[in-house]
Structure 1
Amino acid sequence: MSFFALGVNHQTASVELRERIAFNPERLSEVLSTQNHNPDLHDMVVVSTCNRTEVYAMAENADMVLDWLARSNGIDVKQLLNHVYRYENADAITHLMRVASGLDSLMLGEPQILGQVKTALSLAKDAHVVSPHLNRIFDYVFYAAKRVRSETAVGSHAVSMGYAVAQLALQVFSQPEKLTVMVVAAGEMNSLVAKHLAEMGVAKVLICNRGHERAEKLAQEIAHRVDVEIIPFHQLAENLYRADVISSCTGSLHQVISFNDVKTALKKRRYQQMLMVDLAVPRDIDSKVENLDGVFLYGVDDLQTVIEENLAQRRQAAVEAEVMVNQLATQLMTRQKVREAGSTIQAYREKSQEQSQQELALAMERIQAGEDASQVMQEFSHRLTQKLLHPTSILLREAAQAEDPTHFEWLQENLDHIFEQERKPKAVK
């Protein structure tokens, strides 16, 4: 039984193919719940996001996992063959660590993937398809991802517009919990801005959008984290003074925030500083606003420069992170080998104990039958020694006959070392 990682991602498959083999949580729970009755494949975790679908499983071979992935999505295995990557044991663990750490993401160092992997494990546990052994692998992977995050800078620099705006707010204002944020338009870009700032703990988010439906949708997505208020678009100017941070991205052909609007807002705020971010092209905010004392105005080009610099820093940090991941994967494999060796040693001890009891019982019968006790015990010692050394002798003989002599040399050197340690006199306590 081996540990396999098998799947497709944004680098190996088109959006159309990824859509065909994607799982939403409800369907994944349903599919996994049938796996605990499958004698061949019942120990697995499935990670499915917009950029990847991957199966992590204990199985006899990778084809078994591939067949399951194709069958579960009603497609021919041949359609996946040219797009699927597969890893086994140490390579599979390394891949999973890279995924959980954000090193394999479309956006290098993205933090969301770790939570998605944890959710995938939770769904698999609920479906009772995670063995203690597989669970230990994932626990160690989460430990590795946490170390990568905390000990390298791979995720510490803003590399998306939404995150960059949030980081700017932290640089301009020292107490995010007191901030009121206004997003002008509730499209994809400003939705990310609102979500990042909500996660950072701002006090309130004002959503100003032309249509109420999209504003309401965004409000529902962040209301569990922050106080939210929806403002009609025609009331934008008269509410500007309420916002410490304003992010605008309307797609309008004309400016929606004028110099006079901001000047009036500043006066109402008694000239408390404002951070204004214009993510729109053409621009939403009158560029003369940057001449007003107390206003920090940033445009798309300003943020893009910051993002490019930060991405370069992430790439540099990723080199260090890759080294760490390889080291941690090796450590996990070593732990697993030690654990497996422990079970083998236990089985060997139990077998030896059984042989010892059998030989002892035979010796006692002979002594009770009147045979010479000294002779019986000598034969008991000889027979037991032969039985106990038989497996070791076979291994040494096979190692000596192998084409590669290094295994025999390793066994010989270590046995000599053990015998040398045994010959040393024990210290008197």
Structure 2
Amino acid sequence: MPVSIFGINHKTAPVEVREKVAFSPDKMSESLCALKSEAGLDEVAIISTCNRMEIIYRCPHSQKDSQALEAKAARISDWLAQHHGLSIDNLKDFSYLHSGDRAIEHIMGVACGLDSMVLGEPQILGQVKDAYGYANHAGTMGLYLNRLFQQTFSLAKQVRTDTQIGESAVSVAYAAVTLAKRIFAEFAPIKALFIGAGETIELAARHLSRQGVTQMKVANRTVERAQKLADEFGATAHGLTSLPELVADADIIISSTASPVPIIGKGLMEKAIKQRKHRPVFMVDLAVPRDIEPEVADLRDIYLYTVDDMQDVIKENLKVREEAANEARDIIAVHCHKYLNWLKSLSTVSLMKEFRAQYDDIKASELSRSLAKLENSDSPEKVMTELANRLMQKFMHSPSRLIRQAGESHNQEALEIIADAFSLKPNSDD
């Protein structure tokens, strides 16, 4: 089976490990090309989110046995460790490898939100589509992965339409807002600061807005993007250089940027707490790598949570979604079978092309020979008879050999297959 997945996710590794293997979007094309070349892959795509890093790839046709697949995975692990400057042993402790049917079912399940921290969350489908787009742009997407991703998108759409897995607003952002409701009695007087301007922040802002928060600020590296998001919620937009003033005025801070290093440190929050006269601050760091230094949690009057801290909130949603998830798995099984049948059809197409090419060569050779004889004024009837006899002899050669070998070895099953293939009705008395 040509498709495999090497991955690390929230089930196998803590956030400290996941943030170290995350890929920056602006370097994704470069990373994909380097991985494809250095690991010797035919096709490759990378899904990189706060909860997972998965490398979906296709090996050359010659590398199908388990030992070859494991060797290829080890090569990918070595590249990943070198690329991120990590210990290889560290990666082995937290990674997993899926191949064949399991890999296909896994990527389809991921796109439907079945493998997410929040069961059925819709954001992951957009992130899988991003992975497809990056691979297309980098030129590392080929026939097999292209078909797999396209069928996965079709499947995910069907699951959203035919099941209730996406009916309620369930996501890491929603879990963060649910947690905030346990800390604040009412949201009307609350001031919220959103750091970043991506989809996660947009979802968090939308959820808080629905809870009654009206005083919002959006800070982002690019103020124009912050302004675009701020306009949706009647908020104000700011650059990251304004963070010292912004954090001191915020009751809720939710951050999710692509920064490779923390943008809020313990020192900054110590000053903010003093300015606030120790009024509590609820902080949620949804970024990987983290936006907020872990030491901030040590400060009094600050309640800091990371994506891993959302687990308890998320568990409350599992029972509601399990029935829909089971329905989704049934749909996945159908689409997985469909993709596997498509893979099998590729070998059939290849065999048919080879079969046709072989007999086209015979036809061309014999036709050329017969035309030459006609040019030499040979009798057309004689030439046509010889052509028919030679074609019959050559067409009969391989089937006759197979029949003879099956008969000599008393292989009745093989004889029946040959008879069926050529629509023969052998006399059982012979």
Q: Who is 2:51 aligned against?
A: 51
CA-to-partner distance for each residue in 1:101-123, whole Å, 9 max, x for gaps?
11111211111111111111211
Residue 123 to residue 373, structure 1, CA distance change in 2 (3 Å): same
Bigger-Rg structure (1/2): 1
CA-to-partner distance for each residue in 1:350-399, whole Å, 9 max, x for gaps?
33222101012123334544655545434422332343455556777889
Q: Who is 1:135 aligned against?
A: 146
Contact kept? 1:36, 1:128, Cα under 8 Å: no
Q: Who is 2:76 aligned against?
A: 68
Whole-angstrom distance in 1 between the partners of 2:404 and 2:153 = 43
Q: Who is 1:261 aligned against?
A: none
Q: Match for 2:46: what amino acid?
A: V
Whole-angstrom distance in 1 between the partners of 2:383 and 2:159 = 64
Residue 311 to residue 397, structure 1, CA distance change in 2 (3 Å): farther
How big is the shift at 1:344?
3.3
Moved more, 304-313 or 16-25: 304-313
Larger RCO (CA under 8 A, 6+ residues apart): 2
Whole-angstrom distance in 1 between the partners of 2:152 and 2:354 = 29
Whole-angstrom distance in 2 between the partners of 1:166 and 1:77 = 37
Q: TM-score, normalised by structure 2?
A: 0.62
Whole-angstrom distance in 2 between the partners of 1:376 and 1:317 = 71
Residue 133 to residue 197, structure 1, CA distance change in 2 (3 Å): same
Q: Who is 1:385 aligned against?
A: 392
Whole-angstrom distance in 1 between the partners of 2:410 and 2:320 = 49
Q: Who is 1:94 aligned against?
A: 105
Pick the aligned partner of 1:228 from 229, 235, 244: 235
Contact kept? 1:158, 1:310, Cα under 8 Å: no
Contact kept? 1:21, 1:69, Cα under 8 Å: no
| 5+ long unaligned stretches in structure 1 | 168-180, 237-249, 257-281, 283-303, 421-429
**What secondary structure does 1:363 align onto?**
helix
Q: Who is 2:352 aligned against?
A: 345
Q: Match for 2:100: what amino acid?
A: N
Aligned length: 341
How big is the shift at 1:223?
1.7
- Using the aligned pairs only, state the percent identity: 29
Q: Who is 2:184 aligned against?
A: none
Q: TM-score, normalised by structure 1?
A: 0.63
Pick the aligned partner of 2:214 from 206, 212, 228: 206
Whole-angstrom distance in 1 between the partners of 2:407 and 2:88 = 45
Contact kept? 2:105, 2:336, Cα under 8 Å: yes
Q: Match for 2:192: what amino acid?
A: A
CA-to-partner distance for each residue in 1:256-312, whole Å, 9 max, x for gaps?
9xxxxxxxxxxxxxxxxxxxxxxxxx9xxxxxxxxxxxxxxxxxxxxx999877531
Q: Match for 1:16: what amino acid?
A: E
Contact kept? 1:29, 1:124, Cα under 8 Å: yes
Moved more, 120-129 or 99-108: 120-129
Aligned-residue Cα RMSD (Å) equals 4.8
Where do 1:170-319 residues align within 5 Å? 182=188, 184-186=190-192, 195-196=203-204, 198=206, 206-207=214-215, 222-223=229-230, 225-229=232-236, 310-319=317-326
How big is the shift at 1:321?
0.7
**What secondary structure does 2:94 align onto?**
coil
**What secondary structure does 1:108 align onto?**
coil
How big is the shift at 1:56?
0.9
Contact kept? 1:44, 1:57, Cα under 8 Å: yes
**What secondary structure does 1:155 align onto?**
coil
Q: Match for 1:141: what amino acid?
A: T
Residue 71 to residue 92, structure 1, CA distance change in 2 (3 Å): same
How big is the shift at 1:419?
6.2
Where do 1:138-177 residues align within 5 Å? 138-159=149-170, 163=174
Q: Who is 2:20 aligned against?
A: 20
